[in-house]
Structure 1
Amino acid sequence: MSDTSFHDPLAGLVFPADGRQSETARGIQRGALRYLAACGMVGVPEFCLASGRRADIAALDARGQVWVVEIKSSIIDFRTDRKWRDYRLHCDRLFFAVGPDFPLDILPDDTGILVADPFGAGLVREAPHHPMPGATRKALTLRFARAAAGRLMGLMDPEALRGIEL
C-alpha cells in the first residue's frame, strides 16, 4: 500500500433492508439517491426531522440547500399518507419520487417530481423553491451531519455509538 492509498472498510458492504419499505419503494429510493448523487447532492434515507417525522430522503447540496424526497410506491400509499405536507418546514424544495407507472397527474402541482427505478431517476418537474429560515437550516444541517456520520461510524464499529443520541 502506498502513502497515498488507504483501505476502505466499507468497500463491498451490502446494506440490509430495514423492513419498512416494499421492494418497489427500495428501488425508487435507490434510483432517487443515484439521481441526487449525479446532481452533486448527498442523501440520507429515513432521515428523522426535528418534528419527529421521518423523511424518506433528505438531501444536501454543496451550498447547503436541502431537498426532501418523499417516495410513493403506489396510489394507495399516496392517498393514505398526508404527513408529507409537514416536510415543507424542513427543506428548500420538496419532491415526490415515484415509479415509471405512477399516475403523475395526482401529485400536487406545488412539488417536484422524480420518476425513478432501481437504476436512476429523471426530473419530470422542478420543485418550487421555498427557502428555510437561517436558524432552521443550521439546525437541520447539524442534524444531517450527525445522522450521516453516526451511520458511517455505526457501520465501521457498531459498539462505538453506545449511549450516543443521533
Structure 2
Amino acid sequence: MNTQTRPEITAEVTDGVCRLLYHHQMSCLTELRLGNGRRLDVLALGAKGELWAVEVKSSVADFKADQKWESYVEYCDRLFFAVPMDFPKELIPESVGLIVADRFEAAILRMPEEQKLSAARRKKLLISFGQTAAGRLGNTIGDNVFMP
C-alpha cells in the first residue's frame, strides 16, 4: 500500500516528467500561471519554440475532481496528463497525451496530435515563460527581489 501523500506523489511525478522532457531537449517550468488565471503544472519549451503542457494527476480522485484541464488546450501545442505508474491509464481521454512517471523516470505512452498555437498566443506564452524563468533565477541570488 502506498503511504505517500498527494503532494509527495505530485512532486515525484513532476520530477520524472521534467527529467523526461529534458532528455527531449525541452526546458521546463513548473507551476506557471496562464493568461486565463489557471496554473499549469508543467510547461515545456522546445528548441523550435514548441510548447507542451503537462497536467499532473496524483490519483484517480485527483483526476476525477479536475474540471479545468480542457482550458489548457488553448495554451499549448500538445497537452499531456502525467500520472503515477500504477494509475489506470484507460481513464485518460484519447484526445490528450499520456506520460507515466515516478521520481526517477518517465515514458510517453501516447503522443497527442499537435495543435499549433496562434502566433499572438505563442508570443505571450514565450514572454511569460522567459520572464518567469528569469525571475525565479534572480530569486536564487537572494532576498526574492525579482518576483513577488
Residues 1:51 and 2:36 are matched in the alignment: yes
Q: What is the match of residue 146 of structure 1?
A: 131
SS at match of 1:149: helix
Structure 1 stretches of 4+ moved >6 Å: none
Q: What is the match of residue 101 of structure 2?
A: 116
What root-mean-square deviation, in Å, do the aligned CA atoms of Structure 1 and Structure 2 show? 1.1
Distance in 2, matches of 1:55 and 1:45, equals 7
Report the alpha carbon displacement of residue 139 of structure 1 after superposing the two structures with TM.
0.5
Report the alpha carbon displacement of residue 87 of structure 1 after superposing the two structures with TM.
0.3
SS at match of 1:153: helix
Identity within the alignment, %:
39
Distance in 1, matches of 2:48 and 2:83, equals 26
Q: Which runs of 5+ in 1 are unaligned?
A: 1-20
Distance in 1, matches of 2:44 and 2:141, equals 22
Q: Size of the alignment, in residue pairs?
A: 143
Q: What is the match of residue 130 of structure 1?
A: 115
- Contact 2:138–2:144 at 8 Å: present in 1 too? no
Q: Which runs of 5+ in 2 are unaligned?
A: 1-5
Q: What is the match of residue 7 of structure 1?
A: none
- Contact 2:10–2:56 at 8 Å: present in 1 too? yes
* Cα distance change, pair 121–159 in 1 and its aligned pair in 2 (3 A): closer
- Larger Rg computed on CA atoms: 1
Deviates more, 1:116-125 or 1:149-158: 149-158
